[in-house]
Amino acid sequence: MVMTKHAPPAKQDKQLLHLVFGGELESLEGVSFRDPSKLDIVGIYPDNDSALAAWKAKAQSTVDNAHMRYFVVHLYRLLDPDHEEL
């Protein structure tokens, strides 16, 4: 049996954290939440692709409620406003 070592994943220079959250909106025309204390914090993700996958899954699971919306917040832009896009 031959054992191979796997190299650890390449580390990015900076983390590109993304927050996925959602809740029920007061109206379809704005982004005011009906009850901010009931926001669904889906999670914080290390990259845009994983955040979008989580957002899509949650958005699709609530498709029957037109007032339910999920968002992706680019936390790295808030933490480092001078960050240049890749």
38: pLDDT strictly greater than 80: yes
1: pLDDT strictly greater than 60: no
**Tokens 């692709």 belong to residue:** 49
Q: Which of 38, 44, 31, 27 is nearest to 78 (CA)?
A: 44
84: pLDDT strictly greater than 80: no
Q: Which of 34, 36, 41, 39 is nearest to 55 (CA)?
A: 41
Cβ atoms of residues 20 and 71 within 8 Å: yes
86: pLDDT strictly greater than 60: no
CA distance 39 to 73: 14
Label residue 82 by pLDDT band (50, 70, 90).
Answer: confident
Domains with residue ranges and CATH for the chain: 18-79 (3.30.70.2400)
Q: Which tens digits make up the pLDDT trace of 8-28?
A: 555 555 679 999 999 999 999
| Mean of pLDDT over the chain | 86
Per cent of the chain over pLDDT 70 is: 79
DSSP, collapsed to helix, strand or coil, labels residue 61 as: helix
CA distance 10 to 22: 31
pLDDT, residue 81, reads 81
